[in-house]
Amino acid sequence: MPQGDYIELHRKRHGYRLDHFERKRKKEARVVHERSAFAKRVLGIKGKMFAKKRYAEKALMKKTIAMHEESSSRRKVDDKVHDGAIPAYLLDRDTTTRAKVLSNTIKQKRKEKAGKWDVPLPKVRPVAEVEMFRVIRSGKRKFEMVSSTAKQWKRMVTKVTFVGPGFTRKPPKYERFIRPTGLRFTKAHVTHPELKCTFNLEIIGIKKNPNGPMYTSLGVVTKGTIIEVNVSELGLVTPAGKVVWGKYAQVTNNPENDGCINAVLLV
């Protein structure tokens, strides 16, 4: 690159070469071929970057050509004959197609059957059994270091549990899993994802605990558990006109650490 203006000075004083403009024109015409040769030859990351840039240019060029091709002359509106003919009195009304509603309910039923949920927290950290349960020693000499009469078959659940309203403990001699009353909760703080407001709703039951069916049947509530809550106070109504009173929600916190169950409603 010239570091002064000597080229301009020479041009001013003596003018251009006789074939200057022709050579310039022809050189510019050859740029296309040179670019193409470069694109074919270049390798590695350099090649990839160049190819990306070249593609972007191509797309832009196509768009501008299409834009220019739109003629300003008005063409006759050529309506294609659509499916789903409706009479004149229904034309301006948008009626939700029954088929769509039907297929949606069927799909939802299928999903429920399969047990697959479209949940906000699809993956949760698995909780090990040793973390979930604490071994309780029972028997005559349970506190000896080494004792032949000590039994260790009882377990106490260290996580938050939900037991239904009609829950009665098994006779203490026979109960294997102890669910302490201090860790039993009946209500959950449920957030509606769209309305972004939180309600304190009663839990109806535990639907699924991701750690296993045993925990589901025990009623253990950990992060990621699907619970069913009573939403009658929200006043939701199905399209058929029935009032919705139970909905599923997924637990989003670790209740044993916080002392409360926070969940997000699955709409």
Partner 1 sequence: MEVMDVEREVSNNNSVMCLLTDPEGEPLGAPLYLPQNVGPPQLQEIVNKLLNNVEKMPYAFYISDQELVVQLSSYLQKNKVSVEKVLRIVYQPQALFRIRPVNRCSATIAGHTEAVLSVSFSPDGRHLASGSGDTTVRLWDLGTQTPMFTCSGHKNWVLCISWSPDGQHLVSGSKAGEILSWDPQTGKQSGSPFLGHKKWITGISWEPVHLQAPCRRFVSSSKDGDARVWDISLRKCVICLSGHTLAVTCVKWGGDGMIYTGSQDCTIKVWETTQGKLIRELKGHGHWVNSLALSTEYVLRTGAFDHTRKAYSSPAEMKEAALARYNKMKGNASERLVSGSDDFTMFLWEPASSKHPKARLTGHQQLVNHVYFSPDGQWLASASFDKSVKLWNGITGKFIASFRGHVGPVYQISWSADSRLLLSGSKDSTLKVWDIRTHKLKQDLPGHADEVFSVDWSPDGEKVASGGKDRVLKLWMN
Residues lying near partner 1 in the complex (CB under 8 A) are found at: 79, 81, 83-89, 91-92
Question: Given the complex with partner 1, which of 79 and 194 has the nearer CB atom?
Answer: 79
Shortest distance, position 105 Cβ to partner 1, whole Å: 18
- For partner 1, give the closer residue by CB, 6 or 89: 89
Contact present, 126 and 212 (Cβ < 8 Å): no
Residue 99 CB, nearest distance to partner 1 (Å)?
11
Residue written as tokens 């000075």? 9
What distance in Å separates the CA atoms of residue 249 and residue 117, rounded to the nearest whole number? Answer: 11
Report phi then psi at 164, rounded to 5: -65, 175
Closer by beta carbon to partner 1, 97 or else 138: 97
- Smallest gap, in angstroms, from Cβ of residue 88 to partner 1? 4
User: Which pair of structure tokens corresponds to residue 124?
Assistant: 């949760």
In the bound complex, what is the minimum distance in angstroms from residue 222's beta carbon to partner 1?
47
Residue 208 — φ and ψ, nearest 5°?
-160, 130
Neighbours of 218 (CB within 10 A): 21
CB of 238: closest distance to partner 1 in angstroms?
A: 17
> b or e along 159-169 (b: 16 or more beta carbons within 10 Å of the residue's beta carbon)?
bbbbbeeeeee
Query: What's the Rg (C-alpha) of the chain?
Result: 37
- From residue 254, alpha-carbon distances to 180, 213, 241 in Å are 17, 19, 37
In the sheet with 177-178, reading across from the earlier edge strand, the strands are 133-138, 151-157, 177-178
Q: Which is nearer to partner 1, 87 or 115 (CB)?
A: 87
CB of 70: closest distance to partner 1 in angstroms? 22
Smaller CB separation from partner 1, 89 or 143: 89
**Residue with smaller CB distance to partner 1, 81 or 114:** 81
Six-digit token string for 3: 């570091």
